[in-house]
Structure 1
Amino acid sequence: MKKNTYLNSFLHLSVWIALHLFFVTNVKTVGVIKQTHAHFQLAIFISSLCNAGLFYTISLYLLPKMTLGYSIRKTVWLSVLLWVLFSLVETIIDFSFFVNFYSTHDQDYAGQLFSNSIVNLFVITMGASYGLLRIWKKSEKQKEDLNRETLKAELDFLKAQVNPHFLFNVLNMAYSSANKNNDTETAGIIEELANMMRYMLYESNVNKIALEKEIEYLQSFVNLQKKRLSTEVLPNIAFSIEGAIKKHQIAPLLLIPFVENAFKHGIRMGNETFIIIRLEVTDQALWFEVKNSISKNSNELETQYGGVGLENVKKRLELLYPNQYELSITEEEKQFKVILKLNM
Structure 2
Amino acid sequence: MARKWIEPLLHFAFWLFCFWVLYTAFSFESMEVTVENGVERTLYSRDTGSVPFVLFTLVVKMLVFYTVAFFLLPRFLRRRQWTSLLVLIVALFTGCFLFEYYVQPLLTGHYFRSTLSIGILLYLFILLAATAYRLAKDWWRHERLRAQLAEEKLSAELNYLKAQVNPHFLFNTLNNLYALAEREGSETLAGGIADLAGLLRYVIYDCRADYVLLDKEMQFLQNMVDMQRLRLDEEDEVLIALNISGPYNNKRIAPLLLAPFVENAFKHGIRYGQSALVKIDFAMAGSVLHFKVSNTNFSMDANQRAEKTGVGLENVRRRLSLLYPGRHQLVLEDKKDTFTAQLQLELDES
Shift in Å at residue 90 of structure 1? 1.6
> What's the counterpart of residue 196 of structure 1?
199
Contact 1:266 1:275 in 2 (8 A): yes
The answer to whether structure 1 residue 332 and structure 2 residue 336 are counterparts is yes
**Shift in CA distance, 90/232, structure 1 to aligned 2, threshold 3 Å:** same
> What's the counterpart of residue 8 of structure 2?
9
Measure the CA separation in 1 of the matches of 2:68 and 2:130: 6
The answer to whether structure 1 residue 232 and structure 2 residue 235 are counterparts is yes
Is the partner of 2:235 in helix, strand or coil? coil
The count of residues paired between Structure 1 and Structure 2 equals 332
Shift in Å at residue 294 of structure 1? 5.3
The residue correspondences of 1:108-123 to structure 2 (distance < 5 A) are: 112-123=115-126
Alignment match of 1:280 (pick from 257, 280, 283): 283
Which segments of 5 or more consecutive residues in structure 2 lack a partner in the other structure? Answer: 32-44
Contact 2:236 2:272 in 1 (8 A): no
The answer to whether structure 1 residue 66 and structure 2 residue 76 are counterparts is yes
Measure the CA separation in 1 of the matches of 2:258 and 2:29: 63
> What's the counterpart of residue 51 of structure 2?
41
Measure the CA separation in 2 of the matches of 1:308 and 1:8: 29
* Greater alpha carbon shift after TM alignment, 11-20 vs 224-233: 224-233
> What's the counterpart of residue 140 of structure 1?
143
Measure the CA separation in 2 of the matches of 1:135 and 1:298: 37
> What's the counterpart of residue 84 of structure 1?
94
The residue correspondences of 1:169-188 to structure 2 (distance < 5 A) are: 169-179=172-182, 183-188=186-191
Is the partner of 1:325 in helix, strand or coil? strand
Q: Which structure features the higher share of helix residues?
A: 1
**Shift in CA distance, 209/130, structure 1 to aligned 2, threshold 3 Å:** same
Is the partner of 2:274 in helix, strand or coil? coil
Alignment match of 2:62 (pick from 24, 41, 52): 52
Shift in Å at residue 147 of structure 1? 2.1
Contact 1:145 1:319 in 2 (8 A): no
Measure the CA separation in 2 of the matches of 1:308 and 1:211: 24
Letter in 1 for 2:13: S
Measure the CA separation in 2 of the matches of 1:261 and 1:317: 17
Measure the CA separation in 2 of the matches of 1:41 and 1:303: 53
Is the partner of 1:81 in helix, strand or coil? helix
Measure the CA separation in 2 of the matches of 1:283 and 1:171: 39
> What's the counterpart of residue 26 of structure 2?
27
Measure the CA separation in 2 of the matches of 1:255 and 1:263: 13
Shift in Å at residue 31 of structure 1? 11
Is the partner of 1:236 in helix, strand or coil? strand
Identity %: 32
Contact 2:28 2:46 in 1 (8 A): no
Q: Which structure features the higher share of strand residues?
A: 2
Shift in Å at residue 210 of structure 1? 1.6
TM-score where L is the length of structure 2: 0.81
Note the alpha carbon deviations across 1:24-44, whole angstroms, 9 max, x for none: 233359999xx9766421011
Note the alpha carbon deviations across 1:115-145, whole angstroms, 9 max, x for none: 3222222222222223222223333333333
Shift in Å at residue 231 of structure 1? 1.9
Contact 2:29 2:47 in 1 (8 A): no
Note the alpha carbon deviations across 1:60-106, whole angstroms, 9 max, x for none: 3222223442512322222222222222222223444556x67x9xx
Which segments of 5 or more consecutive residues in structure 1 lack a partner in the other structure? Answer: none
